[in-house]
Amino acid sequence: MEYTNNNQQLIDQYLRGKMSAQERQSFEERLAQDAELAGQLEQYKASTELLEHHADEQLRARVGRIHREMKAEAQPTKGASRRNLLLALILLLAALLLIGWWFSRSTSPASPEQLYAQYHQSYPLSFTRRDSGDDSPLLRANQLYKQKAYDQALPLLQAELANDDNPKLRFAVGLCQLETEQIPQALRNFQTLIDSNDPLYQQPARWYAALASLKNNDLSGTTRYLQAIAPSSPFHSQAQELLQQLSR
Amino acid sequence: MDKRLSDHTIVEQLLSPDERTNDDILRYLHRRLYPMICRFLLNNKGSQADADDIFQEALIAIFKMVRQGKVDGNVNIEAYIYSICRNLWLKRLHKYRKETELTDEMTAIPTEDAGIKSFIDDDQKAAVEALFQQLGDDCRKVLMYYYYERRSMKEIMKLMNYSSEQVAKNKKSRCMKKLNELIADSKEQFRSLFNK
């Protein structure tokens, strides 16, 4: 099919709506009689459609690449701020331990109860809207946990855990049980997390299981959990300190 | 947070023929708006994945609208993108038959849905890619400027450094002819595409 530049120009004007009503009418009359021109118009439409599709695909790929880059860039910052927070917490804990050690060094070995009081710190658990809806039992439980109303937070968390068995929820339930002195139940939940090898909660579960055992006067249990805390865990240094105290 | 650029600057950079300049301004818009869009979506029954999806659609839409001359520097670009996201999300919510009351009070600005239908399979995608490679970079650019971005011959002459509008016109005609021939050669491959 041979194109003439003139036909191409006419098709362009027709498709872009740049013809007067009269020009349009005469072009359409020609189209009705001239099968070759009608074929050219169809081919032209097909080409521009493919062109648009190609451009859309390219743009989509480009924006997708930028989006992925930007998200990846934002990630380390988030990670770094979390690391800084963790470092600050560790330093704070270390300072507290040092103070504790300063006051206790002249006295006889501390009792399990004293050690528990010395080492126990509420875990900064937080459920966000990403974990649930805006006005969900989880957000209420989170609020109650922050206010240290563990006995009220516990049933809400247990109900959620019954619906959705996830490590974060199980850990939260264990913490509330520890705080409300339901030690065997807390230990069961921590042990489940330890056995599941969960990357986020296995080490914290060991630390809090050690504290729960301490609270229960079970020193060999405490030692066992503390010894299992991995060196890479933020709980490792305080676990070593506590082990030293227990060995006195 | 980046210093806020004027709407004229944003549009100018989106219109630039230099892809790196376009990408830089898209990154700037991403840094300024993405967190806000995430908050909006998460507060209105959306998920993180919805936010990613809607935000990318909005960036595609604003890029096309600017390049096609439908939006210029007299528009508040950031507010416009926000309203595109809002409208796209509303449409999607209606589709999901979810009922929600948006907490946002921005006035809706009618926008076109930037949804690009991916109606061709991977083999056809590869064939389209190959076809445009055969066409050559200059031809692809000239045809994109003319048919996709609806630019005038004068603009194409400047963008492509041609000596006159007539040179641009001739180049466009030759390129369109070449594209038609290439498509005709692989007609079987694209038959299903054009029958849709």
pLDDT of residue B160: 92
pLDDT for B143:
92
Give chain A positions within 8 Å (CB) of B60.
56, 59-60, 63
DSSP code for B175: H
Q: Searching chain A, which residue's CA lies closest to the CA of residue B139? A: A51
In the block, tokens 């099919």 appear at A1
Residue A49 with chain B: CB contacts under 8 Å: 194
Which residues in A lie closer than 8 A to residue B27 (C-beta atoms)? 66, 69-70
In A, minimum Cα distance to B170 occurs at A5
Question: Using CA atoms, how far apart are residues B105 and A219, in angstroms rounded to an integer?
Answer: 60
Map tokens 């005038």 to a residue: B152
- Helix intervals (H) in B116-164: 122-135, 137-143, 153-159
- Identify the three-state secondary structure at position B68: coil
Q: How confident is the model at residue A88, as a pLDDT?
A: 82
Residues of chain B with pLDDT under 50: 98-100, 104-119, 196
Structure confidence at residue A103 (pLDDT):
67
Chain B residues 113-132 with a CB less than 8 Å from chain A: 116, 118, 120, 125, 128-129, 131-132
The pTM for the full model equals 0.54
Contact A116, A215 (CB under 8 A): yes
Contact at CB, A5 and B56, closer than 8 angstroms: no
**Nearest Cβ partner for A47 among B56, B59, B176:** B176
Encoded amino acid at B138, one letter: D
B142 within 8 A of B120, measured Cβ to Cβ:
no
Q: How many CA atoms lie within 13 A of B100 on its CB side?
A: 23
- Cα B176 to Cα B7: distance, rounded to the nearest angstrom: 35
Helices A112-119 + A35-104 axis angle, to 10:
140
When CB atoms are compared, the residue of B26, B30, B128 closest to A50 is: B128
Quick check: B174 contacting A, CB < 8 Å?
no
Task: Using the CB atoms, write b or e for B172-196: b if 16+ within 10 Å.
Answer: bbebbbbbbebbeeeeebbeebeee
The ipTM assigned to this model is 0.80
pLDDT at residue number A184: 94
Question: Which element (helix H / strand E) includes A34?
Answer: none
Instruction: State the Cα–Cα distance between residues A52 and A46, nearest whole angstrom.
Output: 10
Task: State the pLDDT at residue B194.
Answer: 54
In angstroms, the Cα distances linking A110 to A88, A107, B100, B125, B175 are: 27, 8, 58, 72, 88
Report phi then psi at A49, rounded to 5. Answer: -65, -45
Report the residue from B56, B128, B144 with minimal CB separation from A67.
Answer: B56
Q: Touching check for A51 and chain B: CB below 8 Å?
A: yes
End-to-end CA distance of chain A: 98
Residue of B nearest to A54 (CA): B128
Contact present, A114 and A106 (Cβ < 8 Å): no
pLDDT tens sequence for chain A (248 residues): 455 667 888 888 888 888 899 999 999 999 999 988 898 888 888 888 888 888 888 899 999 999 999 988 876 555 556 677 788 888 888 888 888 777 665 556 678 888 888 888 877 777 765 555 556 788 888 888 888 889 999 999 999 889 888 888 899 999 999 999 999 999 999 999 999 887 778 888 999 999 999 998 999 999 999 999 988 777 888 898 899 888 87
> In this complex, which of B34, B147, B177 lies closest to A51 when CB atoms are compared?
B147
Measured CA to CA in angstroms, residue A242 lies from A200, A207, A247, B7, B147 at distances of 22, 11, 9, 60, 73
State the Cα–Cα distance between residues B129 and B122, nearest whole angstrom: 10
d(CA A194, CA A188): 10
